[in-house]
Structure 1
Amino acid sequence: MSSWYFAIGEQRHGPISTEELGARFQRGEVLPETLIWREGMEHWRALREMVVELDIAIPATPATTAVVSDSASPYAAPAANVPLQAAPVFGGNVVMAGLWKRFAASFIDGMVMMVVTLVMVMVGVMLTGGAAALSPQAFANDMMRGTLGLTFILAIYVVPIIVQAGYFTWMHASASQATLGKLAVGIKVARTDGQALTLGRSFGRWCAYFFLNLVSCGVTTLVSAFTVGLTERKQSLHDMIADTLVVDRWAFTAHPERQRRELGAVTWTIIVLAGLFVVAYIGFFVFAVGMAAMAGSGQ
């Protein structure tokens, strides 16, 4: 027999049997939207999603029945005003994304941008003649050498910057409010008042990040690591400038109880992979220095 728990507001109740949970639903103490959980479930789920297992039926309500006037045309365009993004819901604690979740998200996004850059380089080489463009004969030609140099500058510097600006601006202003990396670790970007970012503010946030690092040669990234790790609202410098927060994906929603403070499997996996990458890099550097020293001593 399963033991169930249910949440009303920020209070969790249980354990109770399946029969008792059904009885509470019949008495109206538990609603279809009430979050329930039992051992073996990965996440809390709304009761309406578990009706088959609970062997209960949710009656249809008049609100679920569409009313069409006799004069309405079946070919008319929908007139409902559907918002692109849900309005923020306030109440309950807001779990801020800490340093390690943000690092894992940045690592994933960095890999995405690296793959995009490599593809652009390959496309650029193909457009300038493929492997033949890298031959000694091609480099001997002034025009070919200039074309190839311009292609590499565009592919490695200019175009990736434009792609990054578009990627981070659009993804942070989208309905998910998150890049692929942030989606993977379960966080998002929001205004300090819970509102979603507009395209303009999202672009401004990226500009603040890019130009701060450009001017400081990356020093602001280290400063932001300290501010994210030590401040109460865990804001980086570009968050402070853009008036934004990085929070759990369930923050400012109707289900703040679904927020998680633990790092999660994806974040831990990225941290381990990043650690292995650093160890491999150090090992390669030591090996290269050792080989150079051996070559020098042999002369």
Structure 2
Amino acid sequence: MSEATWHYVDNAGQRQGPVAAGFMQAAFRDGRLRPESLVWRAGLAQWVSLHGVAFEMGLGAVPPPIPAPPAATRPLGSDPTMRMLLPVGRSPWAIAAGYLGLLAVTGIFAPFALVTGIIAVIDIKKHPDTHGMGRAIFGIVMGGAVTGLIAFLLL
């Protein structure tokens, strides 16, 4: 057990000390100090965690500090950058309507673009957390325009 006097940061974040190593041992056993609590004594270059000087204080093996929980991650669909790059967080109907809207110029896919665009708008209204309204409207506009043009030319 070291006879050095110690300083420590308590659970409230206040610096305490100087105290004897015996006081530090009792404070650790009582839960007033944790393995991640900062401690210092003359001769140390900087404040260190209690875990790092446990043997010097006569505490024996102190468990390492508990790691911080991982930061909460946002779903990919809520990240605007990812939505620009990948079709994440979008209604599957809106994705289909967008691609069918592109293919509507061939004429064959125009009615399908119109129908999937309408279904996509309904799906997005039911699930407000999804995106893709622009693709759905594009499918409706392209599908409707090309279907209307084909109907006009056939009549």
Same fold (TM over 0.5): no
In our comparison, the structure showing a higher alpha carbon Rg is: 2
Higher helix share: 1
TM-score by length of 2: 0.38
